[in-house]
Structure 1
Amino acid sequence: MSNRTLPGESHVTAAEARGFEAVDTWVFDLDNTLYPSDAQVWPQVDERITLYVMRLYGLDGLSARALQKHFYHRYGTTLKALMVEDGVDPHDFLDFAHDIDHSTIRLDAALDAAIARLPGRKLILTNGSRRHAENVARKIGILDHFEDVFDIAAAGFVPKPERSTYERFLAQHGVDPRRSALFEDIARNLAVPHAMGMATVLVVPAGIDPYREAFEQEAVRAAHIDHITNDLAAFLRTCVLPVAGTAA
């Protein structure tokens, strides 16, 4: 059976999954986690990154795209590669990459209501910029629920899944990983948080997203993934809220 989909169901919970009874801090990735693929946010960002690489190296589109993907697989993010290889100003890169059209993003009343009901603190942890996270979350209609955004600049431009990024996030915000849950769209980004004690939820697309690589959208069954969902609002409403905050 393919790992990319959840046939006949929206949610999967592992047999030894960590629950949410003791969770008092809810941490969400942004891109492809807090919005669906049809919002057309990530395709725009991805295209802007390719254009940046084209202009920086004087390449045609196909060559720039190939180099971009090489950088992504080698360094984890194109930004990290450009900083290491060419000393690119990260702020210049982020401003360019996130200069997108937000008109395709719709208000998500169901997600708004579900996040509003979560007891405790809510934070965004993203490899993108604070400005990008705030712009997108505002358009979805959920920004006001979040205490803060921990972005790539706050991480010293060291991206997830590096352990130091999670350590820095937890220390800066005084988060006890054993009382927190992380929602994330890429399986490998959940390994370190789970080892630290966080409950982990992998958010996958409801169908195949042609703008993302296969490994980025697989519904991976692994020891570091407690839950999988292709409908975040429904998962919060039916699997999290009934038990959240009930522990002594």
Structure 2
Amino acid sequence: MTAQDRNQPGLADFRRVECWVFDLDNTLYPPHSDLWPRIDARITAYMIALLGLDGQSARALQKHYYRVYGTTLAGLIREYDIAPAEFLHFVHDIDRSSLDPNPALAQAIEALPGRKLILTNGSHGHAIATAKQLGIDHLFEGMFAIEHGDYLPKPHLQTYQKFFQRHDVDPSRAAMFEDIAHNLAAPHASGMLTVLVRPKQGAEDHREAWEKHDDIPPHVDFVTDDLVDFLKLLI
């Protein structure tokens, strides 16, 4: 675990945390997993079928929407008024058997004092199925998925505000774990402690180039490349 040099809160600050909030994809499972590439390929296939584009053009537009709107889905809703439930069902219809259960992660999350929640830009069904595959679904009292934010994704502040309200979360007594740095800006501004979960050095990383940062922005309080070991420090 590497702590931020400037304005670093001590680990003792986590003593005030009563609610532990986790992103799902590339956070609760590592970014070298093949789950996200499977979803990514399904998104491309959906766009090819919807728009009649060749694969290269569909993928370029997919990534453009992702960067501009926060998710490809948000862009498709805005530009083509698609039915989001149909999109989510299609893109999350994947084989998760390559993802091994993680008993060490389950033990570390279970040992945390207080409530545990998942906050994801994926669908509710995807969150449940993936957490179940990891063997951690029973540890969370709730999962706030893209449907619950009216399809407005992180990093929008309104999405976090809806999450706080829906699950009665006091952000000043909560911590957020996330693999994309800019998704931690709104939680930090809201009063949450923020932890950026990054891949181990040299490990495969399927995230977009613009999602990866060598520098640590001031809205990130802690950085770790091992979520389980970091959580053990807080127990």
Contact kept, 8 Å, 1:14 with 1:226, in 2: the verdict is no
| Partner residue, 1:16 | 7
1:94-113, aligned counterparts within 5 Å?
94-113=88-107
| Partner residue, 1:169 | 163
1:164-203, aligned counterparts within 5 Å?
164-203=158-197
Contact kept, 8 Å, 1:187 with 1:220, in 2: the verdict is no
Partner of residue 120 from structure 1, selected from 109, 114, 130: 114
Distance across 2 between alignment mates of 1:169 and 1:86: 27
User: Shift of the alpha carbon at 1:210?
Assistant: 4.8
Distance across 2 between alignment mates of 1:12 and 1:65: 36
Structure 1 stretches of 4+ with a deviation exceeding 6 A read: none
TM-score between the two structures when normalised by the length of structure 1: 0.90
User: Shift of the alpha carbon at 1:63?
Assistant: 1.1
1:209 aligns with 2:194: no
Q: Compared with structure 1, are the counterparts of its residues 205 and 60 closer, same or farther at alpha carbon in structure 2 (3 Å cutoff)?
A: same
1:234 aligns with 2:229: yes
Distance across 1 between alignment mates of 2:94 and 2:211: 22
Contact kept, 8 Å, 2:199 with 2:205, in 1: the verdict is no
Q: Compared with structure 1, are the counterparts of its residues 104 and 201 closer, same or farther at alpha carbon in structure 2 (3 Å cutoff)?
A: same
1:129-144, aligned counterparts within 5 Å?
129-144=123-138
> Residue type matched to 1:51 in 2?
A
> Residue type matched to 1:228 in 2?
V
CA RMSD in angstroms comes to 1.3
Contact kept, 8 Å, 2:32 with 2:206, in 1: the verdict is no
> Residue type matched to 2:3 in 1?
V
Structure 1: give runs of 5+ residues left out of the alignment: 1-9, 242-248
Amino-acid identity (%): 51
- Structure number with the higher helix fraction is 2
Structure 2: give runs of 5+ residues left out of the alignment: none
Distance across 2 between alignment mates of 1:210 and 1:196: 29
TM-score between the two structures when normalised by the length of structure 2: 0.94
